[in-house]
Amino acid sequence: MAKILTIEDDETTAREILDELRQHGFEVDWANDGHDGLNMALNGHYDLITMDRMLPSMDGLTIVSTLRGKQIDTPILMISALSDVDERVDGLRAGGDDYLVKPFASEEMAARVEVLLRRHNRQERQTRLCVAELELDLVARQAVRGDRTLDLLPTEFRLLEYMMRNFGQILTRTMLFESVWGYHFDPGTNIIDVHIGRLRRKVDAPGSPPLIHTVRGSGYMLSERL
């Protein structure tokens, strides 16, 4: 079971994060100030840290750079009320792995935690991704399901690649938009749904068991079964 440290000074927000993560089956510790948080992070062998960007006694950015300076590469999810692009860039440059803007939907936070944990444990250098009978050849840029070659547009290929790399994980629309298109604003409309719909028609042909699933209220998941 993964062990997570939450550094957050606002009790309500902390309670939300703790509840949500525990519900997902994680073991969660809570530090409500920067110094304690840094000490716990240095000594506690955590699999992941969620951290407020602005903390009393020590700034979130300082904690991240201190940890990275000590060669501790625990994945860090930065949570901040500052949504400015520059703030995001600063957070990621200091060594954060992902950046979430307050207020956030708890399942969005949980989904990001799951993806970070998964990314940390996997080999990035794969050239071939497989889920059930779906195969993605990253070198030949080719997708095959069973004996059927899928005719994918470049965007669809990137979307499928991201979903396959994170198979079995809930992926929110924002996460898909950020990873596939590289932008950080809220597209606001159902454009992502339309893209998924188009990909789904190609991947899940009638008759074959569906691989792309809609997760009610959250987003999408690629897996053999929901």
Query: How far is 113 from 79, CA to CA, in rounded Å?
Result: 12
Please answer whether residues 26 and 4 qualify as being in contact, where contact means their C-beta atoms are separated by less than 8 angstroms: yes
Stretch that binds another protein, among 52-60, 114-122, 183-191, 203-211 (CB under 8 A): 183-191
Q: Is 179 a residue that touches another protein (CB under 8 A)?
A: no
Interface pick for another protein out of 11, 141, 155, 205 (rule CB under 8 A): 155
Interface pick for another protein out of 57, 93, 121, 183 (rule CB under 8 A): 183
Stretch that binds another protein, among 41-49, 57-65, 116-124, 189-197 (CB under 8 A): 189-197
Size of the site for another protein (CB under 8 A): 31
> Which residue, 207 or 217, has its beta carbon nearer to another protein?
217
Query: How far is 173 from 170, CA to CA, in rounded Å?
Result: 10
Q: Is 218 a residue that touches another protein (CB under 8 A)?
A: yes
Please answer whether residues 62 and 40 qualify as being in contact, where contact means their C-beta atoms are separated by less than 8 angstroms: no
Q: CB-based contacts of 180: which residues, under 8 Å, 6+ apart?
A: 155, 158, 159, 162
> Which residue, 46 or 220, has its beta carbon nearer to another protein?
220
Query: How far is 98 from 62, CA to CA, in rounded Å?
Result: 16
> Which residue, 67 or 221, has its beta carbon nearer to another protein?
221
Q: How far is the CB of 160 from another protein (least distance, A)?
A: 14
Indicate the SS3 state at residue 102.
coil
Name which of residues 60 to 89 contact another protein (CB under 8 A).
83-86
Stretch that binds another protein, among 59-67, 90-98, 129-137, 213-221 (CB under 8 A): 213-221
Stretch that binds another protein, among 45-53, 68-76, 119-127, 192-200 (CB under 8 A): 192-200
Please answer whether residues 28 and 73 qualify as being in contact, where contact means their C-beta atoms are separated by less than 8 angstroms: no
- What stretches of the chain show up as alpha helix (H) in DSSP? 11-23, 34-43, 60-69, 85-93, 106-121, 154-165, 173-176, 191-203
Q: Which amino acid is at 144?
A: V
> Which residue, 83 or 208, has its beta carbon nearer to another protein?
83
Please answer whether residues 112 and 100 qualify as being in contact, where contact means their C-beta atoms are separated by less than 8 angstroms: yes
Q: Is 103 a residue that touches another protein (CB under 8 A)?
A: yes
Paired sense of beta strands 219-222 and 27-31, if any:
unpaired
Q: Is 151 a residue that touches another protein (CB under 8 A)?
A: no
Sites of contact with another protein (CB under 8 A)? 12, 16, 20, 83-86, 102-107, 155, 181, 183-191, 194-195, 197-198, 216-218
